[in-house]
Amino acid sequence: MHRRHFLFAAAGFAPILAASNPDAEVYAIFSALASSLSEGNAAAFMKFFDKQMEGYATLRNNIGALMAQDVISTSVDVQDNQGDEQHRTVEVSWYINIISQQPLGPSVRRQEKVICGLERRKRKWIITSLKPLSFFAPPR
């Protein structure tokens, strides 16, 4: 098990991490996920998810709403990355700061353990499960 912590103010490190081994490739995915959240790029975030994943539509809607109404900063601390060349289970501590763009809107800080299942398809890793989906819901 390898543990790496990513802070994503500058996300130019993803290509460096993406070597030809599953650990590095998976770390690069989480780097790109956090970067796309911080940049407000919903399409870039969602491209890593299997459209057939349970809860995909909910996640897509939540990410779209979150990015439309809030400013986001995030970091990911990979706690566990287990599996083989085809399937991985990754547990991360995900931190997210959500600042409303509304004048009196809420500011929310979240931290939660997020567990993702990944599968390699055509030389590319894709997220096939994510729990809990509610972590990415916009604040009420």
Indicate which CATH number applies to the domain containing 118.
3.10.450.50
- The pLDDT assigned to 119 comes to 97
- The pLDDT assigned to 15 comes to 44
- The pLDDT assigned to 38 comes to 92
- The pLDDT assigned to 8 comes to 42
- The pLDDT assigned to 20 comes to 60
What's the structural domain count of the chain? Answer: 1
DSSP β-ladder status, 70-83 and 107-121: unpaired
- The pLDDT assigned to 19 comes to 43
Q: What is the pTM of this model?
A: 0.82
Half-sphere exposure of residue 15: CA atoms within 13 angstroms, side-chain side:
1
Q: How far, CA to CA in Å, does 99 sit from each of 27, 61, 93, 112, 134?
A: 26, 18, 20, 18, 17
- The pLDDT assigned to 72 comes to 93
Domain that holds residue 70: 4-136
Reading the chain (140 residues) residue by residue, the pLDDT tens digits are: 444 444 443 344 444 444 468 888 999 999 999 999 999 999 999 999 999 999 999 999 999 999 988 899 999 999 999 999 999 999 999 999 999 888 887 789 999 999 999 999 988 999 999 999 999 999 87
- The pLDDT assigned to 4 comes to 43
